[in-house]
Amino acid sequence: MAYTKKVARHDRILIDGTDYSNAFNAFGFNSADTQVDASGFSVSGVDENLPGPRAQGFTGTMFVTTETLSGIFPLHNNRTIVEVYWQPDGLVTPTAPAFWADCYILEFSPADTRGDVSTTTFTAVTATEDGIQTAAGT
């Protein structure tokens, strides 16, 4: 089966209702379950595993600007729960699948390197049991 490849250029990214799409050059989410050993004694000796707790969140690389510093840092600094919304291709396809969750912004680490564009690592983790939700965009 052939799969359509795409170049990521048109993602919609909202944080606490503010559009930061143009402020990111990389964005995505992670969802990982831990592995819990549920093995008993057996003739085969093969491990039996169950899925354990799930960790979810969003990560990205954001440009450091006056707007991102004044908008994102206070949310991180005050440990505010905010909605993070990511819609790949959402700027050109409003009905594209979207992902969102109520999150804490755990990392906002602006840095400068002489001669380079200033960026920061952005990390947000889910703050509620609902985790990351998905549906077609609006």
pLDDT tens profile 73-118 = 999 999 999 999 999 988 888 899 999 999 999 999 998 888 899 9
Longest dimension (CA), the chain: 64
Which has more confidence, 7 or 121? 121
> Are 136 and 95 within 8 A, CB to CB?
yes
With tokens 């509620």, the residue in question is: 128
3 state SS of 110: strand
Question: What pLDDT shows up at residue 43?
Answer: 81
Nearest-angstrom CA–CA distance, 49 and 38? 5
The pTM (predicted TM-score) of the whole model is 0.86
Q: What is the DSSP letter of 33?
A: E
Q: Which CATH number fits domain 12-136: 2.30.110, 1.10.3470, 3.40.50, 2.60.40?
A: 2.30.110
Q: What is the pLDDT of residues 61-71, one digit of tens each?
A: 999 999 999 99
> Are 62 and 76 within 8 A, CB to CB?
no
Parse the chain into domains and list their residue ranges.
12-136
Question: What pLDDT shows up at residue 118?
Answer: 93
Q: What's the first-to-final CA gap in the chain, in angstroms?
A: 30
Which has more confidence, 88 or 4? 88
Nearest in space to 62 (alpha carbons), one of 7, 13, 129, 127 = 13
Percent of the chain with pLDDT over 90: 66
Question: What pLDDT shows up at residue 138?
Answer: 63
